[in-house]
Amino acid sequence: MTEKESRYEDILARAKGLADGENDVVALMANISSLIHYEMGFWWTGFYIVKSELVLGPFQGPVACTRIAFGRGVCGTAWKERRTVIVPDVELFPGHIACSSESRSEIVVPVFAADGSVKAVLDIDSRELDTFSDVDARYLEAIASLLSRQDY
């Protein structure tokens, strides 16, 4: 197991503990974004919640864009295409929305409800290029699945 995997194992176990019995999605997103952000040392870690468009939810990091339309940017693409999107270099992603000029790479993971609809996205930005891999995708998808059964 790599160091990154072992950090994620710890985060996943703690996220499961936080999610256990917690039905308030904002409270849970707040703690999960803090957990990931501080354990992994990312630049920005947070959620956008699906309403008529994506609306900023709990996060850690600098001030970010408040609303993102369906299909726009990396977040809107993950929502529209219902899949995790990994961007090794944000400057090479057409339509990337630069909330912070410091962001160099990004991963966005959809949060699915039990009925298969996308309820939110988990967005993480790094100040380094090419930070995110299949390992991040796998663990972040497992963490996102802890947010599938709360009330939105």
Binding residues for ligand SME, rule CB under 6 A, total 14
Nearest C-alpha neighbor of 25 from the set 139, 119, 117: 119
Residue type present at position 47: F
Which tokens is 11 given?
């985060």
Residues belonging to the chain: 152
Residue type present at position 49: I
Binding of ligand SME at residue 113 (CB under 6 A)? no
* Contact map string, positions 4 to 33, toward ligand SME, x by CB under 6 A: ------------------------------
* Contact map string, positions 76 to 105, toward ligand SME, x by CB under 6 A: --------------------xx-x---x--
Which tokens is 91 given?
């400057």
Among positions 125, 126, 140, 150, the unique one binding ligand SME when judged by CB under 6 A: 125
The arrangement of strands across the sheet holding 54-60 comes to: 67-68, 54-60, 44-50, 118-126, 105-112, 85-87
- Report in angstroms how near the CB of residue 3 gets to ligand SME at its nearest: 25
SS3 76: helix
Residue number, 32 or 68, with CB nearest to ligand SME = 68
Phi-psi region of 131 (alpha: psi -120 to 50; beta: other; left: phi over 0): alpha
Residue type present at position 139: Y
Q: Which residue is nearest to ligand SME (CB)?
A: 73
Binding of ligand SME at residue 73 (CB under 6 A)? yes
- Report in angstroms how near the CB of residue 150 gets to ligand SME at its nearest: 22
Residues that bind ligand SME (CB under 6 A): 44, 64-65, 68, 73-75, 96-97, 99, 103, 106, 123, 125
